[in-house]
Chain A
Amino acid sequence: MPKNPNIKKVVVIGSGPIVIGQAAEFDYAGTQACRSLKEEGLCVVLINSNPATIMTDKDIADKVYIEPLTAEVVKAVIEKEKPDSLLPTLGGQAALNIAMELEESGFLREKDVMLIGTSANTIKKAEDRLEFKKTMEKIHEPVAPSEVVTNIKDGLAFVSKIGYPVVLRPAYTLGGSGGGIAENEEEFIEILMNGLRLSRVGQVLVERCIAGWKEIEYEVMRDANGTCITVCNMENLDPVGVHTGDSIVVAPSQTLGDKEYQMLRSAAFNIITELNIKGGCNVQFALHPTTFEYCVIEVNPRVSRSSALASKATGYPIAKVSAKIALGYHLDEIRNAITKKTFASFEPALDYVVVKIPRLPFDKFIHAYHDLTTQMKATGEVMSICTNFEGALMKALRSLEQHVDSLYSSRYTDMSDAEIVQLLRHVDDRRIYVIAEAIRRGISQEAIHSITKIDIWFIDKINHLVEMERAIIDSNGEISRDLMKEIKRMEFPDKVIARLSGKSEAEIRSLRYEYGITASFKMVDTCAAEFEASTPYYYSCYDGENEVEEDHSMKKVMVLGSGPIRIGQGIEFDYCSVHSTWAFEKHGYQTIIVNNNPETVSTDFDIANKLYFEPLTAEDVEAIVNLEKPDGAVVQFGGQTAIKLTEALIGMGVPILGTSAENVDAAEDRELFDEILEKCCIPRPAGKTVFTRDEALAAANELGYPVLVRPSYVLGGQGMQIAISDKDIMEFMDIINQHVQEHPVLVDKYLMGKEVEVDAVCDGEDILIPGIMEHVERAGIHSGDSISVYPAQTLSPKIKRVIEDYTRKLANSLHVIGLINIQFIAYNDEVYVIEVNPRSSRTVPYISKVTGIPIVDLATRVILGEKIRDMGYEPGLQPEADYFAIKMPVFSFEKIRGAEISLGPEMKSTGECLGISKDYNEALYKAFLGSGVNLPKTKKMILTVKDADKMDAVEIGRRFVDLGYQIYSTRSTCRVLNENGVAAELINKVEEPSPNLLDLILSHEIDLIIDTPSPGIERSKDGFVIRRHAVETGVTCLTSLDTANALLTSLETSASRNLSLVDISEI
């Protein structure tokens, strides 16, 4: 069946801001699908509130609306653009939910818009727990005994029939939000109450607990003709009980025989046939470890994180093929884009092993619970490919960039064997290291299996790695060629071999080269070499011949990617890497991307001329450099991950394109940087560099509290804190020095001024500043967590000129060629520099889109030698756009139990959304709406503030009262409000008798909490409990009065008007 000729203009809904459970994989899938639709000559109208994505570029879609993802906005876009179809399966759960709402309300029918891809009926059958269960029963596919409950009483009645433990899963939520396993009635009631509230339809599924079974996923495709294929299956190393997003996953399955493999494959086909899926679908199974019994866990009738992983693991572009199927094509009419010889109607055969490891955010939330449950917590993931499992696991571990380069990195030397056994029972992100340690202690594989339920096959593989550690230690540095071959086959990095054998890394490296043991590269070709493939997508191994052909016909550039998505280094760096790759290609370069993140656009098979799916460490990159001999490498687009490789690349003789390494260093090195500032006469807050706790104390006392403490060379202000006392300094320094610091710690005087940020392109002489961004929150809150406003609203022309001047001076002094990001504080009419990053930043995609100035493209051209003046731009600060564009941070606190939500100098947000309008207040309203703040609802709020904020709180309280809000406050805030004529009701503190604050929050009557915590470590326990409960019950909670002010402004003017729409492609 060829393409349906009636489809000409299609609306694609994206997935919105990056949150835990819905991340970069949807940018990857959406971008691939939009390109595939455009390739078919369709007009693509895109709606996505996330400005950091590639899919919201005007060259990906024809019309781009970076607007809040609500049913109302999608309706308005449909009314304006008059499309004939809507494709809802590319934007994750968020997009499916909106599509369902529009379908159920009859809006789509009324506007004559077809839902293409997957029908509403299919979505309902797959997503609605009750419908799903009924459907499975009809086709005799087993599901765990379960019941959908809508209240506590029914839940308790059902659980008395099936017994504990039980699993709870709320319907229609992201990443299993609000789900969990309950072992007893108390836990059951707690999780159920929470789940009922979070579910869009107030339904929670209670089911028999199948924890400990094998968790197996199938990625399957089906076309309108009923042809079904499996793209790949995946086995979770962690048995059922840990969300697949938080599990270590291996592809293909390893411990299933053909009978089990085919049984589940047939079941998956049976299911997608009954559901009438047209496109890609993910089916998750629980398989009993010692029988053929299985249960269907869930079905996702859309692209997903798992489908992104399956695409990267096999080379099969699921999103692209799904988009073509939505247009009416059959699988055997779509070419396999990798081989270009075969068709999409086949099943990839792998001749390697793929391992995925989640990137969990516990380094950001040190005090949060590390337990892994059915509630996903990972912000990102890494993938690795190797010819053996041990090697793939080792590569994935070092790709995480968590100070880990082998299973030997985390030892538990201070623990007894009994404590290790106890720790094995604990399911958290450290479990794999604990297993390795248990093996080292001689605890039997069977014992480990019986505790963890992890299949013996995996435990035995970990055992191989532990045995190899021992062999290296026992070698005393006398490593034979055969042993070295085996060590490298298992992918032990030279650094680890050196550490274990007592040699230096250089000695190991030269011994290895002497033996002629170097990495070779194999191709991912979808077909296990059965057919010739033309898409160069490679991975390394040490047990085979090299397949990469030497090619020096063109100039080559290597673009280093940014690794796993984590808080502080998100999708925006992938945006920059991809755009720079495209720009290099346009200018006649052969492009090579090195990255290890399966969720991103940069690791799609057709972005660069060559893709190396490898860890981003010096040794791994060197193997590629030895082979490719690139003419240069760019590190300024891949965040800190790429920057960290600069020195190593220079050592390999690879020229760094753009700003030189010395100048990158100068920006980070306090003394060099101070010299530059002095030379340019640019003031900065006074500061010192220190290494030890005592030095830090001395520095802080000399500068006077409050001070800002942070390690240099870090992401997203990691470890950055505001200290108000010696006690704080001591605690912060202890945390920072848990890991050996190669670089000093910075202690700066803290100025509470207005924070301002610019990104600029510099060609060595001139600079181009697309715009100045101003933060709503005053200094002290990380720029990534602040609301950012473009164009800056409160800066005088004089200040703007100073900022432009300082930017020029700094860019010139640092000899920047390419991008530079500078953060300033405007304090008492004086501008101070607080941070300079001679590289791309988080705000690059945002400022590019709202100004229409493609700064990554310009920066790349500058790197290639072009001048700003020759590219059609007048140097300096560009004229302001006539739009207000507001970037709003989005958090995932509800997913991380026990995480402190109050904002500070360490970044905590996982994503962002945009509010854009010709009217400032509307832009602000859109930004809040896009981030999920949809107020007012009950018009009841809690207002409790620290002493320093009390007077500001009066004005804020008054404005909320004017909006009709009823305010509850604890004693001191209440008194101040009442004394100043603002009506507020006194409510008891948490530790006081009921009814108190907590009762009020849990009664679900509150729609807003404003709680500003006292600074420093001595944060009140009370406040923490209030804020956690707010987050966990879905109440909007603000911890800064600046944010509260902005929210008020947006509420005061929002008064139910129709939102305007802005098509970014017209800017």
Chain B
Amino acid sequence: MKAFLILEDGHVFEGKSIGSTKEIISEIVFNTSMTGYLEILTDPSYAGQSVCMTYPLIGNYGVCLEDMEADRPWQSGFIVRELAKKPSNFRSEQSINQFLINNKITGIEGIDTRALTKILRTQGTMRGMITTDENYNLDSCLERIRAWHMGHVVLDVTCKKKQFYPGSGYKVAVIDLGVKDNIVKSLRNRNCQVTVYPAETPAEEILADTPDGIMLTNGPGDPKSCQVTIREVKKLFDTDIPIFAICLGHQLLALANGGDTVKMKYGHRGANHPVKDLKTGKVYISTQNHGYMVKEESLDRKVAEVSFINVNDGTVEGVHYLGKNAQTVQFHPEACAGPLDTDFLFDTFMNMMEVSK
């Protein structure tokens, strides 16, 4: 069956339908990772977005359900050049197409993903529609696309009630803004006792559980739509309990401390982003997935200093809060998909909790 990707600027790509045939409107972004399509599909930070994979052959090693980063895929749509017909890997349980169908995710294959990427690169992230309606009316589609807004998607992806994972080590409170499983796993691998809280849980309720450390997770959408969480985060920050924040969590903590965030032209999404630790000068390759960033000049120098920058474009990749036990990073030390180079930051978090005990 034919499928069409219609961008809000009127570009139309014709391809073949994969997965569900349900018509969807979402933000269209691209990801340059060459492996890890399942982790990307199931990363809650992609809620409200359709991801164009720049690597042309997707689905080669099939689907291994234990690699999912959440219990369901969160992307609205999946855009690929060529989906593998016959996946091959000893762990594969199904094909990616079957997975998309099972999870009712709309997709399109057979389009020039590089051409699409170049459009997004030069014109910035756009909204778009994937439809299988061959008789679509472009004008009315564009009208509907332009009327669509992502909204406060964190509320869609966060857990509905708190979840507890036993452990013998530190008590860590995870504020779920759209948490990837590997964040929880990375803590549990270090014996942490982990409690995951819904995004807008009042600080008092969290503090009542007497955590040793607080983890703010990744998540989708515009950080400024998370006003309730920002308010609660500020309260947590003021307690001096060690905080480790990733991605959206990093942005919220900056906003809570008077910093500002801004939408990037086309964001950082991939597994090859170099970040430089300004203390050691060492560069690490990181997984990234963000469309917003913390504005460096908005940070109060008395409160915060930049700890990591992106080597490609110099943007803020991490913040250290002066006199505080808080480190935040824009990139994803939990990887999945992507390199494990910055996994050590979880150890740093363990040290922070050790020191403050």
A residues bordering B, Cβ < 8 Å? 1, 225-230, 252-259, 261-262, 265-266, 269, 289-291, 330-332, 341-343, 345-353, 387-389, 455-457, 460, 464, 522, 527-532, 543-545
Contact = CB atoms under 8 A, between A and B. Distances in A.
Interface of B: 30, 32-36, 38-39, 54-57, 60-61, 64, 67, 81-82, 84-91, 110, 112-115, 117-118, 121, 270-274, 276, 280-285, 311-312, 335-341
Main secondary structure of the interface of A (DSSP, over half): loop
B57 A254 contact: yes
Given A269-B341, A349-B272, A544-B112, A457 B87 contact: yes
A336 to B, nearest CB: 9
A258 B283 contact: no
Given A353-B56, A528-B54, A460 B85 contact: yes
A307 B184 CA distance: 38
Given A291-B90, A456-B88, A529 B54 contact: yes
A739 to B, nearest CB: 35
A343 B272 CA distance: 12
A389 B57 contact: yes
Contact of A225 (B33, B115, B273, B281): B281
B82 A289 contact: no
B23 to A, nearest CB: 25
Contact of A528 (B88, B90, B114, B115): B114
A888 to B, nearest CB: 46
Contacts of A460: 85-86, 88
B89 A229 contact: no
A348 B272 contact: yes
Nearest to A259: B67
Given A347-B285, A543-B81, A290 B90 contact: yes
Contacts of B117: 351, 528-530
Given A257-B64, A258-B36, A258-B337, A455 B272 contact: no
B283 A349 contact: no
A349 B54 contact: yes
Nearest to A347: B272
B118 A529 contact: yes
A262 B90 contact: no
Given A229-B274, A262-B339, 11 more contacts: A256-B89, A258-B67, A259-B67, A262-B35, A269-B341, A345-B274, A347-B272, A387-B56, A388-B57, A457-B88, A529-B117
B36 to A, nearest CB: 4
Contacts of B84: 457
B21 to A, nearest CB: 20
B274 A332 contact: yes
Contacts of B54: 349, 351, 528-530
Contacts of A341: 312
A346 B286 CA distance: 9
Contacts of B64: 257
A146 B273 CA distance: 38
Nearest to A545: B115
Contact of B90 (A289, A343, A389, A544): A289
22 contacts: A225-B280, A229-B285, A257-B91, A258-B39, A261-B35, A261-B36, A265-B340, A266-B339, A332-B276, A341-B312, A347-B271, A347-B339, A349-B54, A349-B272, A388-B56, A389-B57, A457-B84, A527-B32, A530-B32, A530-B121, A543-B110, A545-B115
A331 B311 CA distance: 10
A289 B61 CA distance: 12
Contact of B56 (A342, A345, A352): A352
B282 A258 contact: no
Given A351-B56, A457-B88, A545 B112 contact: yes
Contacts of A266: 339-340
Contact of B55 (A227, A350, A457): A350
B81 A387 contact: yes
A255 B335 contact: no
B67 A257 contact: yes
Contacts of A290: 90
B311 A345 contact: yes
Contact of B61 (A226, A256, A291): A256
A722 B232 CA distance: 92
A257 B112 contact: no
Nearest to B63: A257
Contact of A342 (B30, B35, B312): B312
A813 to B, nearest CB: 52
Contacts of B112: 543-545
A392 to B, nearest CB: 10
Given A351-B55, A351-B113, A528-B114, A331 B67 contact: no
B61 A255 contact: yes
B88 A455 contact: yes
Contacts of B336: 258
A262 B335 CA distance: 9
A254 B86 contact: no
Contacts of A528: 32, 54-55, 114, 117, 270
Contacts of A543: 81, 110, 112
A387 B32 CA distance: 15
A579 to B, nearest CB: 34
- In the A-B complex, the 6 residue pairs with the smallest Cβ-Cβ separation, listed nearest first, are A258-B36, A544-B112, A457-B88, A347-B272, A528-B54, A349-B32
A263 to B, nearest CB: 9
Contacts of A229: 274, 283, 285
A265 B311 CA distance: 21
Interface centre among B33, B35, B36, B270 (most CB of A within 10 A): B35
Given A226-B282, A290-B90, A258 B311 contact: no
A343 B312 contact: yes
B312 A531 contact: yes
A388 B270 contact: no
A225 B311 contact: no
Nearest to A343: B311
Contacts of A387: 56, 81-82
Contact of B115 (A227, A252, A464, A544): A544
B86 A346 contact: no
Contacts of B118: 529
B178 to A, nearest CB: 20
Nearest to A254: B60
A457 B272 CA distance: 26
Contacts of A455: 88
Contact of A262 (B32, B57, B284, B340): B340
A387 B117 CA distance: 15
A353 B88 CA distance: 17
Contacts of A226: 282
Contact of B60 (A225, A255, A332, A530): A255
B114 to A, nearest CB: 5
B311 to A, nearest CB: 5
B273 A346 contact: yes
A258 B340 CA distance: 11
Given A290-B90, A530-B270, A227 B67 contact: no
